[in-house]
């Protein structure tokens, strides 16, 4: 089973994202927060999320509009570093996540953020079981805001989509001034039994290239079990495609959740080889990493690969794992 981080989806999991200027973190979803609604109605909860979110405050609102079963929103619970939104059978509900820099509910006035200086848009990582639509709303005062929609992909693979500031449409008042943002809101409308997962949410300026790659842990199996006490290696395939020539990747720079590639014999070279792994006629790069170097623990479910091309451009990818004792 494979996860892909992508930014502007170009096909085959390749994407471009800004590294030239530091991204502004909106939320990395590492601060725990949960709301549950049983039956029609709205549940709202405000939490001080500190440095893990912009403005230090996050407001969750869950509005169940139909159905007698429960719906829930959980942050960093069950899936580390993610927000999960789950509708029960027969349930339709919507969620709102608001960052306004104020501990009072629905303030929408206190953020005072300049997003336009070093950014051109938002990066939103998401996936769902059947596909859904999300909305980002940017406020410059409670009565002035602009919106843009994005499609939440279906399937198990996380995809990070760019929502450009230029694509926002003024909805109320004078619209948003991205140099004077008072609040940011993310909304998802959920249909019957919809399950959505959101990952890191930040800005980008898209000027420099970060190459997002598809990786496959233990190619040929969907179990992806990892025994952290093993003294062996774990195989990982970086999947090539029309937009990615794996021969451009420098194996010596690769790290899998902190683990280095295994070095082969006296040569000291990284244990990587170009092979055809997934049957798409594009060459893939198969590497082996030291299992005992993985910075993982029981309960973790995702591993992240980092590295560079020979030209110095960073690459990044994810896959799911199951840690076994």
In the chain, what are the domain boundaries? Answer: 25-204, 211-324
| pLDDT at 317 (0 to 100) | 84
| pLDDT at 281 (0 to 100) | 87
Residues 21, 118 contacting (CB under 8 angstroms): yes
Which residues, other chains included, contact 276 with Cβ-Cβ below 8 Å and sequence gap of 6+?
282, 283, 284
The strand pair at 183-190 and 211-212 is best described as unpaired
Question: Which residue, 151, 319, 297, is CA-closest to 239?
Answer: 319
112: phi then psi, degrees, rounded to nearest 5: 55, 55
Rounded mean pLDDT of the chain? 84
Residues 112, 182 contacting (CB under 8 angstroms): yes
pLDDT at residue 6 greater than cutoff 90: no
Confidence category of residue 219, pLDDT binned at 50, 70, 90: very high
| pLDDT at 160 (0 to 100) | 78
Mean pLDDT of the region 147-168: 79
| pLDDT at 39 (0 to 100) | 87
* The model scores a pTM over 0.85: no
Asked if the 25-204 domain carries CATH number 3.40.50, the reply is no
Mean pLDDT of the region 241-270: 85
| pLDDT at 96 (0 to 100) | 94
Question: Which residue, 81, 30, 7, 11, is CA-closest to 317?
Answer: 7
Residues 59, 33 contacting (CB under 8 angstroms): no
In CATH, what number does 211-324 get? Answer: 2.60.40
More confident residue, 78 or 33: 33
């Amino acid at each position: 089973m494979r996860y892909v981080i992508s930014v502007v989806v170009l096909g085959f999991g390749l994407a471009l994202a800004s590294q030239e200027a530091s991204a502004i973190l909106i939320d990395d979803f590492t601060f725990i927060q949960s709301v549950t609604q049983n039956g029609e109605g709205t549940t709202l909860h405000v939490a001080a999320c500190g440095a893990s979110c912009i403005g230090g405050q996050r407001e969750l609102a869950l509005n169940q509009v139909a159905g007698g079963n429960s719906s829930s929103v959980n942050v960093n619970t069950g899936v580390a570093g993610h927000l999960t939104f789950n509708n029960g059978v027969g349930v339709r509900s919507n969620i709102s996540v608001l960052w306004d820099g104020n501990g009072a509910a629905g303030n929408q006035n206190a953020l005072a953020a300049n997003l336009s200086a070093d950014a051109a848009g938002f990066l939103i990582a998401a996936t769902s079981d059947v596909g859904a639509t999300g909305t980002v709303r940017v406020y410059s005062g409670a009565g002035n805001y602009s919106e843009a929609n994005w499609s939440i992909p279906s399937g198990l693979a996380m995809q990070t989509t760019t929502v450009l500031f230029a694509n926002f449409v003024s909805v109320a008042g004078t619209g948003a001034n991205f140099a004077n943002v008072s609040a940011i809101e993310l909304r998802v409308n959920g249909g019957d039994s919809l399950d959505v997962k959101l990952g890191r949410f930040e800005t980008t300026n898209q000027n420099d290239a970060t190459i997002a790659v598809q990786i496959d842990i233990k190619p040929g199996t969907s179990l992806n079990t990892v025994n952290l006490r093993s003294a062996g290696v774990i195989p990982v395939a970086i999947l090539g495609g029309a937009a990615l020539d794996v021969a451009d990747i420098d194996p010596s720079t690769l790290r899998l959740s902190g683990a280095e590639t295994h070095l082969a014999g006296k040569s000291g070279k990284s244990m990587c080889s170009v092979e055809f792994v997934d049957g798409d006629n594009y060459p893939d790069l198969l590497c082996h990493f030291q299992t005992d170097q993985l910075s993982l623990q029981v309960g973790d479910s995702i591993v992240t690969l980092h590295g560079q091309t020979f030209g110095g451009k960073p690459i990044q990818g994810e896959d799911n794992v199951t840690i076994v004792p």
